[in-house]
Chains A and B, each alone.
Chain A
Amino acid sequence: MDKAQKTDTADPFAFLKRPLRAAYMRCDRFLDYTFGSRDNPFYSLGGLGFFLYWIIAVSGIYVFAFFDTGLTEAYESVEAMTHIQWWLGGVMRSLHRYASDGLILVIGLHIMREFAFDRYRGTRWYSWVLGVPTVALAFAAGITGYWLVWDRLAQYVAETTAEILDRLPIFGSPIARNFLAPSYVDDRFFTLMLFIHIALPLVMLFIMWFHVNRVNRPRINPPRNLAIASLVLLIALSLVYPALSQGPAELSRVPSPVSLDWYYLWSYPLVDLWGPGGVWLVYFLGSFALMIMPWLPPLKRSAPAVVDLDNCNGCTRCAVDCPYGAIRMAVRTDGKPFEREAVVNPAQCVSCGICTGACPTATPFRRAAALVPGIDLGGLPLVMVRERTHKAAAGLAGAARVVVFGCDHGGAIAALNSTSVGGVSLPCTGMLPPSMIDYVLSRRLAEGVVITGCRDGECRFRLGPQWTEERIEGKRDPQLRARVPRERILRVWAGPAEMARLAREIASFQQRLATAGNAAAAPAPAEAGQTVVAE
């Protein structure tokens, strides 16, 4: 049952991941409490990245409109924006800077989070690997941005960038010569920098699009409140603490000390420590290490989902719900009178089982021999889930017997087992067909059903908790039948660190069941399951 534990010991980074995950979960609890789980910024780090990108784009276009290229013009135009038109130009300039800094912060948190929750190996190498160039592009775009202002910081950036680039054996004359003394600089440099500064973010956007390309319904927009709050707060910061230049560049003077933007320029002081060669080593080793992370070690994954055409009616629900778009609806091939059939791309499947939970033919009411849903997990077919449910319920006693359905990545469900509680762990709670709840209650396997698993933002896969909720609430197909007494179902989303709370909630649920149980009549035994397709 403890598959999560087993994969953990095989992972040499577990010693890093486990405490990092615990730290994230602690932050999540704090932010859930503070802002509510819907607006928890840690659940929308990727979406915040996109949102900040748009703020940068809009403020950048505004600033560009008032920017002049040229040795003195550049500095003067930025100064005019900052001081004369402070109420809009200055705010836009500050927004441009602070949103860019925020982007680095958010990307950093996003990378560490995907790492901590192990969402980067297996199929998900694709998103991870495509994420790496976006980081490099973000840094490069930020650095060229600081160059454009042509203040003392820009001079420092220009000189140091030139020294770093000159380490590569591809440039003829040292680029650093261009900044030797006042008579050496050229206006054309600004045009080139401006071009690069605009081109890099466009390439970045292009890659960002590919980055979420294999994710079904990527959350590229943060929740409304979170987005509005982020924008308002960044504007407030811009007004209170506007971004300023540091005096015009003077090539006859040393730009030292300078106020650095450490988000973008953290590597520049390293030039003085390790030389340009050392900095290149940091860049190369850093990107290389990030790039190969998804295969350190490769994820040992269980068998992917398989379609059984005899049971598939082409309803598309699995394809809609699959968090990774691993299912495609293709033209029917077996002559059955349906238009389409589900086709799984095993290379994109993460074996979460969410598709089984979505399939209308995945109902445990069917006879043992016939229990093959339209789509099933190779490693844990639905028959086995039903068997485990029976086993979990078998030994239970008392007036408030409870079956708990949980997931391998939340708290260890087995730890909850007692004389009146039996647990069944699934790869993801989203794998549970709602009819299984109906089955447990109507067959009187137990008096109550507990649905638990990771919180939505902490799902090891994606969308599992959300789909489960919507199915039980009747907002999403397949819906839990209306006849199922809702007071006999308890939903608790709790991470591994919240096992005590889960146990408490189950105990009080059992108390309610026991008091209600004596009075209420048990639900009528079922005749058949839900929509069952031609058998």
Chain B
Amino acid sequence: MKPLRHAAQAAFVLITLGLIGYFSASPPYARVPPESALIKLSFAHAAAKKGGCRELSAEELERLAPNMRRKTICSRERLPVDIEVLLDGAPLYAERLPPTGLSGDGPSRVYERFVVPAGSHSLVLRLRDSERAAGFDYETTHAVTLAAGESLAIDFFQGGFRFE
């Protein structure tokens, strides 16, 4: 019976260690298909204030505490940011991003990933952060060649899109 027992011991040990070892690093996981690249769009951008600012009248100023007397007041709430991305002429993403913060006074934020085929692409980016009804405040066209597995980050700050 002894050899059988040793065989059982060996089998149990091998299976247990095999189980631990194998699933500690296998099977592999591919988040994006092999011949593709990734475009990440992310920014935190504060749009203009809603309704703009106005001057306070003399009576209104009178009613405020002396240290609070400021001539102009602006609404705290911000406008949403409208963003559009076109990839090779086709819409990839279009969204109205609301302001953050409890009273809507924070920047609009976004983080999005797009899996695209590797190769050359033309990107069009448009962003609106004002009260204008038509058109965009910012618009850029960007040509890229993305190798398989490459990751392109698009950010927006200081009045322009930034690619990295």
In the complex, the answer to whether A34 meets B5 with C-beta atoms within 8 Å is yes
The residues in B between 12 and 31 inclusive whose CB is less than 8 angstroms from any CB of A are 12-13, 16-17, 19-21, 23-31
Chain B residues, Cβ within 8 Å of A8: none
Cα-based distance from A98 to B17 in the complex (angstroms): 9
B109 proximal to A (CB < 8 A): yes
User: Interface digits, A180-209 against B, CB 8 Å rule (1 contact, 0 not)?
Assistant: 111110000000000000000000000000
Give chain A nearest CB distance to B98 CB in angstroms.
12
Given contacts A33-B5, A261-B23, A262-B23, contact A173 B44 (CB under 8 A): yes
Stretch at the interface among B51-59, B121-129, B133-141, B146-154: B146-154
State whether the Cβ of B120 lies closer than 8 Å to any Cβ in chain A: no
Residue among A34, A172, A253, A258 facing the most chain B CB atoms (10 A cut-off): A34
Give the B interface residue count (CB, 8 A).
Answer: 36
* B8 contacts A by Cβ under 8 Å: yes
Q: Contact string, A276-288, partner B, CB cutoff 8 A, digits 1/0?
A: 0000000000000
Q: How far is the CA of A262 from the CA of B21 in the complex (A)?
A: 11
Q: Which residues of A in the span 154-180 have a Cβ within 8 Å of any Cβ on B?
A: 156, 163, 166, 172-174, 176-177, 180
B82 nearest CB across to chain A (Å): 19
CB distance from B114 to the nearest CB of A (A): 12
User: Is the CB–CB distance between B23 and A101 below 8 Å?
Assistant: yes
What is the 8 Å Cβ interface bit string for chain B, positions 92-108, against chain A (1 contact, 0 not)? 00000000100000100
In the assembly, what is the distance between CA of A398 and CA of B17, in Å?
Answer: 55
How far, in whole Å, are A98 and B21 apart by their CA atoms in the complex? Answer: 7
19 extra interface residue pairs, beta carbon distance < 8 Å, beyond A233-B16, A243-B25: A30-B8, A30-B12, A97-B24, A166-B111, A174-B44, A174-B110, A181-B40, A236-B17, A241-B21, A253-B150, A253-B151, A256-B149, A258-B29, A259-B28, A260-B26, A260-B29, A261-B24, A262-B23, A263-B24
A–B Cβ pairs within 8 angstroms, 9 of them: A97-B24, A172-B106, A174-B42, A181-B155, A182-B164, A252-B164, A256-B32, A256-B149, A258-B29
Nearest residue, chain A, Cβ from B40: A180
Q: Is the interface of A mostly helix, strand, loop or mixed?
A: helix
The answer to whether the Cβ of B37 comes within 8 Å of any Cβ in the partner chain is yes
Q: A237-B20, A252-B150 are in contact. Are A269 and B100 (CB under 8 A)?
A: no
CB distance from B66 to the nearest CB of A (A): 34
Which residue on chain A has the smallest CB distance to residue B115?
Answer: A254
Task: Determine whether the beta carbon of B29 is less than 8 Å from that of A33.
Answer: no
> A237 contacts B150, CB within 8 Å?
no
Choose from A163, A181, A263 the contact partner of B164 (Cβ within 8 Å): A181
Q: Tell me if B9 is interfacial: C-beta within 8 Å of chain A.
A: yes
Q: Give B residues with C-beta under 8 Å from A.
A: 5, 8-9, 12-13, 16-17, 19-21, 23-32, 37-38, 40, 42, 44, 100, 106, 109-111, 149-151, 153, 155, 164
Give the distance to chain B from A459, nearest Cβ to Cβ, in Å.
Answer: 23
Assuming A180-B42, A254-B151, A258-B28, is B8 touching A101 (CB within 8 A)? no
Of the candidates B24, B26, B100, B109, the one whose C-beta lies within 8 Å of that of A98 is B24
Cβ B23 vs Cβ A263 within 8 A = yes
Determine the distance from Cα of A404 to Cα of B21 in the docked complex, in whole angstroms.
47
Q: Which residue of A lies closest to B43 (CB)?
A: A177
A31 within 8 A of B: yes
Q: Is the CB of B109 within 8 A of A105?
A: no
Closest Cβ–Cβ distance, residue B141 to chain A (whole Å): 20
Q: Which of A69-120 touch B at CB < 8 Å? A: 97-98, 101-102, 105
- A255: Cβ under 8 A from any B Cβ: yes
Do the beta carbons of B8 and A254 come within 8 Å of each other?
no
> Given the complex, which residues of A lie within 8 Å of B149, measured CB to CB?
253-254, 256
| A233 & B17 in contact (Cβ 8 Å cutoff) | yes
Assembled-state Cα–Cα distance A428/B138 (Å): 78
User: B31 near A180 (CB under 8 angstroms)?
Assistant: no
What's the Cα separation between A163 and B110 when bound, in Å? 11
Tell me whether A177 and B9 are in contact (CB under 8 A): no
Q: Is A251 in the interface zone, CB < 8 Å from B?
A: yes
The answer for the CA separation of A241 and B111 in the assembled complex, in Å, is 38
Q: What are the 6 closest A-B residue pairs judged by CB atoms, nearest first?
A: A257-B30, A181-B153, A181-B164, A174-B111, A259-B25, A256-B31
Q: How far is the CA of A107 from the CA of B53 in the complex (A)?
A: 61
Please pick, from B13, B32, B164, the residue contacting A183 in the complex, using a CB distance under 8 A.
B164
Residues of A contacting B155 with CB < 8 Å? 180-181
Asked if residues B25 and A261 are in contact (CB atoms below 8 Å), the reply is: yes
Asked if residues B9 and A34 are in contact (CB atoms below 8 Å), the reply is yes
Q: How far is the CA of A255 from the CA of B28 in the complex (A)?
A: 11
Residue A272 at the chain B interface, CB threshold 8 Å: yes
- Residues of B contacting A105 with CB < 8 Å? 19-20
Report the Cα distance A254→B39, complex, angstroms: 10
Which residues of the partner chain A approach B26 to less than 8 Å between Cβ atoms?
A: 259-260
Bound state CA distance, A259 and B9, in angstroms?
A: 30
What is the CA–CA distance of A234 and B21 in the complex, to the nearest angstrom? Answer: 10
CA distance A126 to B132 in the complex (A): 61
A338 within 8 A of B: no
Bound together, the chains give a CA A339 to CA B151 distance in angstroms of: 77
Do the beta carbons of A254 and B32 come within 8 Å of each other? yes
